[in-house]
A = this chain, B = another copy of it.
């Protein structure tokens, strides 16, 4: 392995000079800088990460806690994770992948060992066990998600309440009056992951203002579950003319089962989804939807956390991204009442 000392010798300068060339923390004459840089290139020098971390107490690593699901791996999680990794690299940081499995212990471990300079935490519950530790930690942290108490925390998330409101408005504008919400699995609500509840709140409030009738049903992503849910919905509310789906896995079954039951989308029933663009665009009927902006969420989280590492940026900053509804083919004017 090539070391700093070898580069220094090769360039005919001292080790500290090489270090300053690399970090730019002191001014170096153009001539010297070029000599050093050429030596670095010629020798193929890469600074030793451990030594650098030890000396500077900076690892240039950001820990990312992603949820561990044994049931289903939700593509949007992966999209966010990859966006985080990509964004981090452009700022010279690497990502340490932690599974949710370790829970709060992981926070302690990372902080104690100085393995990472900061943490990004996905899939936060409203009252997450990790929050007290993150608040107390002397390392920056950013949540992707929104717990109930945000004091002393940095968060990035889609404004799901606004997303719910936008869906209600869009359907109201098309003349729909009875709307059913096909939600995430019941387990998601029980875990109190905020996003599902916030969407619902947004939907409920705006619906009330607009005079819509709303029926909400949690639902698994399986055909059986969607089928059962649909039957119950039409039993209870035969006048239902529109659906809002917030469940990546349920969108396809929903469209398929509506078609099978003789209801055309969007002629007989309209569907609006809250899901990633990919899912919406590739559905059997391209879905009018509010996108979950995974890329941007990842990018913003990284930028925020790096700002904090570098001493810029404030603690306690909540970024809620404005929802954007994209009109595709699954929602249309409500059928005339007969």
What residues of chain A have their CB less than 8 Å away from a CB belonging to chain B? 1-2, 44-54, 57, 59, 61, 64, 66, 68-69, 71-73, 75, 77-79, 81-82, 85-86, 89, 94-99, 101-102, 108-109, 111-115, 221-223, 249, 252-253, 256, 259-260, 278, 282-284
Contacts and interface: CB of A to CB of B under 8 A. Distances in A.
A114 B50 contact: yes
B85 A99 contact: yes
Interchain residue pairs A-B with the least CB separation, the first 10 = A46-B112, A50-B53, A50-B54, A73-B78, A78-B78, A49-B115, A95-B97, A97-B97, A49-B113, A46-B113
Contacts of A94: 96-98, 115
B113 A223 contact: no
Contacts of A95: 96-97
A86 B102 CA distance: 9
Which of A1, A78, A283 is most buried by chain B, counting CB atoms within 10 A of its CB?
A78
A53 B64 contact: no
A127 to B, nearest CB: 24
Contacts of A85: 97-99
A101 B89 contact: yes
Nearest to A84: B97
A259 B99 CA distance: 40
A75 B69 CA distance: 11
A1 B59 contact: no
Contacts of A77: 78
Given A54-B50, A85-B99, A44 B112 contact: yes
A73 B64 contact: no
A273 to B, nearest CB: 15
Contacts of A101: 86, 89
A75 B112 CA distance: 33
Given A48-B54, A49-B59, A99-B86, A72 B249 contact: no
Given A59-B49, A97-B96, A222 B81 contact: no
Given A99-B82, A222-B282, A112 B53 contact: no
Contacts of A59: 49-50
Contacts of A260: 259
Contacts of A81: 78, 97
A238 to B, nearest CB: 25
Contacts of A51: 50, 54
Contact of A48 (B61, B113, B223): B113
A249 to B, nearest CB: 7
Given A49-B53, A96-B96, A113-B48, A284 B253 contact: yes
Contacts of A68: 82, 86
Which of A95, A113, A221, A253 is most buried by chain B, counting CB atoms within 10 A of its CB?
A113
A78 B99 CA distance: 12
